[in-house]
Amino acid sequence: MEKFIIEGGNSLNGTVEISGAKNAALPVLIATILAPGVHTIRNVPNLRDTRTTKKLLEIIGAKVTFENNIMQIDTTNCDNPVAPYDLVKTMRASFYVLGPLLGRYGTATVSLPGGCAWGPRPVDIHLSAMEALGAKVDLASGNIVATVDKLVGTEFEMRFPSVGATGNMLMAAVLAEGTTIIKNAAKEPEISCLVDFLNETGAKISGKGTAELTIEGVNELHPVDFSIIPDRIEAGTFLIAAAITQGEITLKNVEPDHLGKVLEILEQVGAEIQIRQNEIRLKQENRPKSINAVAEVYPGFPTDLQPQLIALLSVAKGNSRVIDTVYNDRFKHVPELVRLGAKIAMDDNMAVISGVKQLAGGPVMCPDIRAGAALVLAALVAEGTSVVDRIYHIDRGYENFEENLTNLGGTIRRSD
């Protein structure tokens, strides 16, 4: 298994180009199934998860090429409506095929994802959304088997504004008969990107960026040339990397509007921030200040940056509290950070962090993508050498991570 060997102590300075957003790319790539023909999707990050999605599309019957961050997908013959366990277990987002397969073929067999590194992560909202549109949903040999003659529009209120279930329902509803209204829908920019993609293919969705999406079903969709939005989580990770090492960084190709709460929190921590169109500059001159923060659904502070924020606050002056309201049990990074000298106590879904002046390098293990990124950030500021194991998690979500960090002045290398 590959590891990162990191020598801590350098501050990070320089410029990073931000990639396309993984969590926007995955549903858009999968949504191409709905519109037969050849699609060109640009600004697709070259990551393990996008390569897994390519495999998934190929299993379903699409012809796919992926070069220079452009995925060309021919969905003319997608005649195998199946997402097998081997792929779903490595990438939960494979579950996104349920809606489009039902929409185009009226049948889908999708392996049930099961739990993930930080908890059970159910899919009940996805399934009740498909049932509300008229599908029959059964469980057979660990697979969800869904069938329908014709999906029919409906009004559906999500019990929680799930990103995945909103995307799945959107993709199912665009070809349904009549009008669908999704209430308490997710407002994340990745969902708005999916709405833009679907509307360009000929779908009729209104209410983008709000908690109520209205979809008027259409008979068919057509292929398009489309570009993925910048990755706000990758951007936030690099901003926190500069803040934790008291450096100065410029991010290019970002969408500052998607990072409002993140920039607000980083300013509270003491960072100086300047915004210019698609650029963000951050400078952190002193030890971070302690703060209280809550990870919430968009436009709140993202749960996908909660681990990196806890890493930052572990070297802050004073005591901080971080609550996660999206995932109650997403704190597998905490015991690993404690191994590097952080002082963190858990109280249910709240981390209570007593900032220390200095972390000390050591061996740690990535529990998942973002927790892995948080450990790398902590190792970059810790004294001495850290070995960060199981970095295949990080490879799911960060393109050229160690090259980017090296260019900024970090000492990090990959080893077998």
Q: What is the CA radius of gyration of the chain?
A: 21
Cβ atoms of residues 305 and 262 within 8 Å:
yes
Neighbours of 48 (CB within 10 A): 17
Shortest distance (Å) from residue 358 CB to ligand UD1: 30
Q: Choose among 59, 71, 63, 87: nearest CA to 20.
A: 71
Look-up: residue for tokens 């349920």?
Answer: 98
Identify which of residues 105 and 327 has a Cβ nearer to ligand UD1 in the complex: 327
Q: Does 162 bind ligand UD1 (CB under 6 A)?
A: yes
Per CB under 6 A, the segment of 80-88, 159-167, 214-222, 281-289 that binds ligand UD1 is 159-167
Q: Does 324 bind ligand UD1 (CB under 6 A)?
A: no
- CB half-sphere exposure, 217, CA atoms < 13 A: 18
Identify which of residues 23 and 250 has a Cβ nearer to ligand UD1 in the complex: 23
Q: Three-class SS of residue 254?
A: coil
Identify which of residues 185 and 340 has a Cβ nearer to ligand UD1 in the complex: 185
**Percent of residues in the chain assigned helix, strand, coil, to nearest 5:** 35, 30, 35
Shortest distance (Å) from residue 10 CB to ligand UD1: 29
- CB half-sphere exposure, 83, CA atoms < 13 A: 33
Identify which of residues 293 and 412 has a Cβ nearer to ligand UD1 in the complex: 293
- The correct pick among 138, 142, 160, 210 for binding ligand UD1 (CB under 6 A) is 160
Is 78 one of the annotated active-site residues of the chain?
Answer: no
CA distance 72 to 42: 9
Q: Does 33 bind ligand UD1 (CB under 6 A)?
A: no
- CB half-sphere exposure, 208, CA atoms < 13 A: 14
Q: Does 229 bind ligand UD1 (CB under 6 A)?
A: no
Q: Does 372 bind ligand UD1 (CB under 6 A)?
A: no
- Stated as kind and residue range, the H or E segment containing 198 is helix 189-200
Alpha-helical (H) ranges within 14-119 are: 22-31, 48-60, 85-88, 98-105
- The correct pick among 126, 187, 232, 393 for binding ligand UD1 (CB under 6 A) is 126
Residue 279 exposed, middle or buried by CB count within 10 Å (0-12, 13-18, 19+) = middle
CA distance 156 to 172: 13
410: left (phi over 0), alpha (psi -120 to 50) or beta: beta
- The correct pick among 304, 368, 395, 399 for binding ligand UD1 (CB under 6 A) is 304
Q: Does 170 bind ligand UD1 (CB under 6 A)?
A: no
Cβ atoms of residues 371 and 332 within 8 Å:
yes
Shortest distance (Å) from residue 69 CB to ligand UD1: 18
- The correct pick among 14, 114, 122, 363 for binding ligand UD1 (CB under 6 A) is 122
Identify which of residues 165 and 259 has a Cβ nearer to ligand UD1 in the complex: 165
Q: Does 125 bind ligand UD1 (CB under 6 A)?
A: yes
Per CB under 6 A, the segment of 10-18, 28-36, 160-168, 358-366 that binds ligand UD1 is 160-168
Per CB under 6 A, the segment of 56-64, 157-165, 224-232, 276-284 that binds ligand UD1 is 157-165
Shortest distance (Å) from residue 249 CB to ligand UD1: 23
Q: Choose among 34, 75, 84, 39: nearest CA to 57.
A: 75
Tokens at 80, concatenated: 């195998």
Q: Does 266 bind ligand UD1 (CB under 6 A)?
A: no
Shortest distance (Å) from residue 393 CB to ligand UD1: 12
- The correct pick among 282, 326, 359, 365 for binding ligand UD1 (CB under 6 A) is 326
Q: Does 123 bind ligand UD1 (CB under 6 A)?
A: yes
**Residue list 181-210, contact with ligand UD1 (CB under 6 A):** 190
- Build a one-symbol-per-residue string for 64-103: x at contacts with ligand UD1 by CB under 6 A, - elsewhere: -----------------------------x----------
DSSP 11: P
CA distance 296 to 303: 6
- Build a one-symbol-per-residue string for 100-119: x at contacts with ligand UD1 by CB under 6 A, - elsewhere: --------------------
Alpha-carbon distances of 202 from 174, 343, 347, rounded to whole Å: 9, 53, 48
Residues marked active site are found at: 116
Residues that bind ligand UD1 (CB under 6 A): 23, 26, 93, 121-126, 160, 162-165, 190, 303-304, 326-327
